[in-house]
Amino acid sequence: MPPSRLHPVLRPRVWPLHLIGVAAVVVALSLGLWQYGAWQAHRERAAAEVSTQDPAPLADLLVPGEGFPGTDVGAPAEVEGTWRDDLTFLVDDRRVDGVAGSWVVTPVETTDGAGALLPVVRGWTTDPAAAPAAEGTVTGVGWLQPGEGTGAVDDDPTDRVLPQLRLADVVRLVDADIYPGYLVLDIDGETGVAADNAAAEGLRAVTPDQVPEVAPNTSLRNLLYAIEWWVFAAFAAFVWWRFARDEVEKARALEEGPDDGPGGEEGHADPAGDAQEAAVASSP
C-alpha cells in the first residue's frame, strides 16, 4: 500500500483511537484465554475426582464378553482373585522420564468372573528379569483402562513381549476369556485404599494413559464466556479496521478534490463566457 494511503491512520490525532482498539482486542483475547483455561482446569479437576473416588467392585464395572463402557475409563476398581504368574507377559518400549522400559503384566483369575482373566499392569521396570513373582491370591486396587490400539506390529508372536496392550493379542497369549479392559495397579496408594501390592515390589508405578470422561456440560459456562470474549475481540478488530479504512478514504477524497467541470478548473460556472456564447448564437 502506498505511504500516502497509510499516512492518515498514523496522524497523532488518531493515536488515542488506535490505543483504544489495541487495548480492546488484547483485553478481550486475554479474558477469553483465561476463561478457556478455567474450563480446562475445571474439567481436569472433575476427572481427577473420579479417579480418586472409592473403588467399585470389578463386577459392577466390567463384564467378560461385553464391551468396555466409556464411562468406566479411568474408574477406580477393586479386584479379587488369584495371580496367574505363569501367564505373565511384558509390554515393551514404555518410557518413564525418557527412559525405555517395560510394563510387567500378570492376569488375575477373578473370583466372580467364571474363570475370566483380567490383565493387571503390576508396574514398570528396566529389568523385567528382576520383577518379583506374582503368587497366591490378591486383593488389588487400580484404574480400569480400555485395550490399546496403537497399530504397532508384534514382530515376534512366539515370545511373551507385546508392543501394545491390545486385548486380541492378550487372548492369543493367555488362551482364555478375558475382561474387555485391563487394570493399572495402584501401588502408591493414590486411591486411598490399602491393597495387597506385594507383586509390585521393586516396580515403579504406572500412570494410566486415559483419564475418566467428564460430563459434556462440566464448566460449560466458562467455555461460553471464552467464546463470547473472542467474538467481542473480533468485533473490536473489525471496528478498528473500519475506522482506519474510513480515515484513508477521507484523506484520499481531500487530496483529489472535486471533479473538474465544463465551467472551469474547479467546475464553477463562467458567466462572461456564457453571455458571449449566447450573443453569438442570437446574431443573424
Digit-coded pLDDT (tens) for 43-64: 777 766 666 678 889 999 999 8
Q: Where along the chain do its domains lie?
A: 54-200
Q: What is the DSSP string of the chain?
A: --HHHHGGGGSGGGHHHHHHHHHHHHHHHHHHHHHHHHHHHHHHHHHHHHHTSPPEEGGGT--TTSPPPGGGTT-EEEEEEEE-GGG-EEEEEEEETTEEEEEEEEEEEETTTTT-EEEEEEEEES-GGGSPP--SEEEEEEEEEPPP------S-TTSSEESS--HHHHHHHH-S-B-SSEEEE--S-TTS-----GGGTTPBPPPPSSPPP--TTTTHHHHHHHHHHHHHHHHHHHHHHHHHHHHHHHHHHHHH-SPPBTTBTTS---HHHHHHHHHHHH--
**Residues 223, 35 contacting (CB under 8 angstroms):** yes
* pLDDT band (50, 70, 90) for residue 250: confident
Instruction: Write down the number of H helices and E strands in the chain.
Output: 5, 8
Between CA 237 and CA 241, with CA 240 as vertex, the angle to 5 degrees is 85
Among residues of the chain, what percentage have pLDDT more than 90? 35
Per-residue model confidence (pLDDT) at position 3: 45
Is pLDDT at 81 greater than 50 in this prediction? yes
227 or 115, greater pLDDT: 227
pLDDT at 154 over 60: yes
What pairs with residue 41 in β-bridges?
A: none
Q: What pLDDT does residue 192 have? A: 56
Asked if residue 210 has pLDDT above 50, the reply is yes
Could you tell me the pTM of the whole model? Answer: 0.62
Where residue 1 falls among pLDDT bands split at 50, 70, 90?
A: very low
